[in-house]
């Protein structure tokens, strides 16, 4: 089973109007996320704001991701899938 989590990066820096400050806040948030979550076998970063977790390996990474998003009040959606989806560009 897999969990696809997608979140709204525009909400990370909602209190800033300056484009430079917004970009800086989003970069800091993404850096924090990458340091707090160690992707394991079966986990994938799909986009900057979308991750696919293999919950068959445990829920730790998904829990860490949700905790980070909730701490920053960033809206997110989680979709649970039986099979691994194929993403194409």
Domain contains 88? no
E strands of 9-89, at which residues?
Answer: 44-47, 50-54, 76-81
Range of the domain at 76: 2-81
Asked if pLDDT for residue 61 goes beyond 90, the answer is no
Chain mean pLDDT for the chain? 83
**Under the phi-then-psi rule, with left for phi > 0, alpha for psi from -120 to 50, and beta for the rest, what region is 58?**
left
Domain contains 9? yes
- What pLDDT sits at residue 16? 67
Domain contains 57? yes
| Number of compact structural domains in the chain | 1
CATH number for 44: 3.30.70
Domain contains 10? yes
Domain contains 86? no
Q: What is the pLDDT of residues 5-59, one digit of tens each?
A: 998 887 777 666 777 777 787 888 888 777 777 777 788 888 888 889 999 888 8
């Amino acid at each position: 089973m897999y969990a696809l989590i997608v979140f709204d990066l525009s909400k990370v820096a909602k209190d800033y109007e300056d484009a430079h400050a917004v970009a800086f806040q989003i970069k800091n948030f993404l850096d924090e996320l990458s340091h707090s979550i160690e992707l394991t076998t079966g986990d994938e970063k799909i986009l900057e704001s979308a991750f696919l977790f293999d919950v068959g390996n445990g829920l730790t990474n998904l829990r860490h991701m949700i905790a980070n998003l909730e701490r920053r009040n960033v809206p997110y959606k989680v979709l649970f899938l039986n099979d691994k989806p194929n993403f194409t560009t």
